[in-house]
């Protein structure tokens, strides 16, 4: 009897662990081209952030500005037209705030030359990245009656 109770307890624990792992993020249904554009922008932001961190490691504030500037609002305006009506307002706002953050990082890196300030700003900016990845997942819309492919972005388990 004790063994059966243990088995039931283990099953309940594992079932609740699986339920807790359910992905409750909002689905963004995008075409392959739209998805590609969003992911390309995210990769550019990630790569640029890595470059900024590398520049900060050598206190090269000119390089910080050089890497931050292309991640600013200029980058955002390239996508605005064909994604504005497709992506939720909150998603677009998070993105715009993030691009403004990079404009501020670039300006302050030039004028204030303070690596610790830039690190704080970068940390704050990345809070927006985390919030977005915690809130949304991307799926492609079906093409000519085919079932939708699931492309999750933002959940990486190491």
Architecture of domain 33-140: Up-down Bundle (1.20)
Average pLDDT, the chain: 85
pLDDT category at 9 given cuts 50, 70, 90 is low
Instruction: Kindly report the pTM of this predicted structure.
Output: 0.77
Task: Confirm if 105 and 67 have CB atoms less than 8 A apart.
Answer: no
Percent of the chain with pLDDT over 90: 66
Q: Which of 97, 125, 131, 96 is nearest to 109 (CA)?
A: 125
CB-based burial, 61-87: b 16+ in 10 Å, e otherwise: bebbbbbbbebbeebbeebeeebeeeb
Q: Which of 112, 55, 101 is nearest to 75 (CA)?
A: 101
pLDDT digits (tens, 9 = 90+) for 12-60: 555 555 555 789 999 999 999 999 999 999 999 999 999 999 999 999 9
Cα angle 74, 79, 85; round to 5: 135
Q: Which of 66, 140, 136 is nearest to 107 (CA)?
A: 66
pLDDT recorded at residue 142: 78
The residue with tokens 């390239």 is 78
pLDDT higher than threshold 50 for residue 78: yes
């Amino acid at each position: 009897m004790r063994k059966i109770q243990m088995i039931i307890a283990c099953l309940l624990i594992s079932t609740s662990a699986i339920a807790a792992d359910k992905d409750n993020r909002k689905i963004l249904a995008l075409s392959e081209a739209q998805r590609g554009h969003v992911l390309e922008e995210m990769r550019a932001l990630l790569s640029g952030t890595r470059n900024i961190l590398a520049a900060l490691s050598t206190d090269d504030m000119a390089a910080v500005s050089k890497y931050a500037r292309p991640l600013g609002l200029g980058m955002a305006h390239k996508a605005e037209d064909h994604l504005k009506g497709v992506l939720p307002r909150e998603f677009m706002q998070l993105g715009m705030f993030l691009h403004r953050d990079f404009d501020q990082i670039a300006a302050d890196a030039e004028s204030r030359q303070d690596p610790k300030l830039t690190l704080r700003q970068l940390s704050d900016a990345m809070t927006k990245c985390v919030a977005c990845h915690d809130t949304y997942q991307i799926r492609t819309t079906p093409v000519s009656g085919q079932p939708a492919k699931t492309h999750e972005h933002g959940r990486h388990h190491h």
